[in-house]
Amino acid sequence: MNDIKERLHALPPPGSLDAILIGCVEMGASRIHLQTDTALKIRVHGRNYTVPGLRWTNREVSDALAKMYKSSTGPSRLSQMEAIDTSYVIWPDRSKPRYGFRVNAVATTIGANDGIGIVLRPLPEKPTPLEEQYVEPRLAEALDGETGGYLICGVTGSGKTTLMGGVTRKRLEDPNCHCNIIQGAAPLELFYDLIEQNNASIQQTEIPRQLKTFPDFIRAAVREEPTDIEIGECRDAETMEATIQAIISGHRTTTSVHTHDPASTVRRVVSLCPPSDRDSYAIALIDNLKLIVNQRLLRSTDGKRTAIRSFLPFNRKIREALLDAPQARWPNMVRGFVAEYGQTFEQSIKDVHAQGRISDAVADCAMKELD
């Protein structure tokens, strides 16, 4: 902790944006917060740190936003009640590491004054391999399918993108996987140009910079003879409808949903189905669903964070039982199926604790939060 504080105080002034961001990444920051008339704040392995001497004026924050957004129109967009969600890459020397960031900027209020708030989330230079994410063998096996729907879920900051990136990396590197992946995200967070692509390919599109919406992206993707379609996130009925169409048309389709556990995931995806055809779309989804996995992060014994997961691979017995029951019963039924055929969060906590990756106190606290 003291080492991080010392390194924070050694950061350059606000005008040296790239040097500041690189310094924060090298300290292990998962979140960097710049705000008008406010000290720089970062989050490292679940703990917050502040640099009181590094305060940002409104002009300095505006200049930083213009540089990251690659346009001076950023502040005016914020003043029109629009949020900016984009990516920023620092790579001045191709022989050295590349630093990528997801950037979200909004207009803010500081005391009685208006200002700008920018949150950056550092992204790995390469997607993290599944073996470094301690992915369970049963889950790895369930992720190996070639068709159907795969839902990788969790709250913001739970590592959904990291897990999805690991899966994509594995498929690209596998010489026996002849896949053509079409991916859309808002914004793109992980890049694969530094990954060896043996007999596979990937094409990435940023929403809304290169295509306006996820449904537009999915409609374009299905015309490009993909084996895999990856949708960054299902947020609305229109996107869910397009995602289900991709699933039932025979593509391996992966997306994420913001939910807490597999039971709430089923409830959420049904609610996102278009109201006029909710029953038929929900049935089509369940009939072609291969996997739901929900992930959370806990503080690990090495001072970082590690994942716990609850997941359910879908088999014919599960699908038939759900399709024979009223939709209102699906969440409770899925909860029971997770315990019988998948893995609960309780089991994951016990396994991670037994492996020595989390302490007694963290395990006890996590168990209590599940009650």
- Which residues partner with 223 through β-bridges? none
Could you say which of 3.40.50.1110, 3.30.450.90, 1.10.1740.10, 1.10.645.10 is the CATH number of the domain covering 2-123?
3.30.450.90
The sheet that has 99-110: what strands, in order across it?
Answer: 47-56, 38-44, 29-35, 113-123, 99-110, 84-90
| Rounded-to-integer distance, Cα 304 and Cα 322, Å | 39
Residue 225: burial class (beta carbons within 10 Å; 0-12, 13-18, 19+): exposed
Of the candidates 245, 329, 256, the residue with the CA atom closest to the CA atom of residue 281? 245
- Which residues partner with 78 through β-bridges? none
pTM of this structure: 0.83
Q: What is the pLDDT of residue 295?
A: 97
| Rounded-to-integer distance, Cα 232 and Cα 229, Å | 10
Q: What is the pLDDT of residue 1?
A: 55
Pairing state of beta strands 148-153 and 252-255? parallel
For the chain, strand residue ranges (E) read 29-35, 38-44, 47-56, 84-90, 99-110, 113-123, 148-153, 180-185, 201-206, 228-231, 252-255, 289-299, 305-313
**Ordered per-residue pLDDT tens for the chain, 371 residues:** 568 888 888 888 888 999 999 999 999 999 999 999 999 999 998 889 998 778 889 999 999 999 998 888 888 899 899 999 888 999 888 888 899 998 999 999 999 999 999 999 998 889 999 999 999 999 999 999 999 999 999 998 899 999 999 999 999 999 999 999 999 998 888 899 999 998 999 999 988 889 999 999 999 999 999 999 999 989 899 999 999 999 999 999 999 999 999 999 999 999 999 888 999 999 999 999 999 999 999 999 998 899 999 999 999 999 999 999 999 999 999 999 999 999 999 999 999 999 999 999 999 999 999 97
| Rounded-to-integer distance, Cα 196 and Cα 172, Å | 7
Distance between terminal CA atoms of the chain? 32
Pairing state of beta strands 180-185 and 201-206? parallel
Superfamily classification of domain 130-370: P-loop containing nucleotide triphosphate hydrolases (3.40.50.300)
Of the candidates 127, 116, 115, 130, the residue with the CA atom closest to the CA atom of residue 185? 127
Domain parsing of the chain, residue ranges: 2-123, 130-370
Of the candidates 220, 249, 228, 251, the residue with the CA atom closest to the CA atom of residue 172? 228
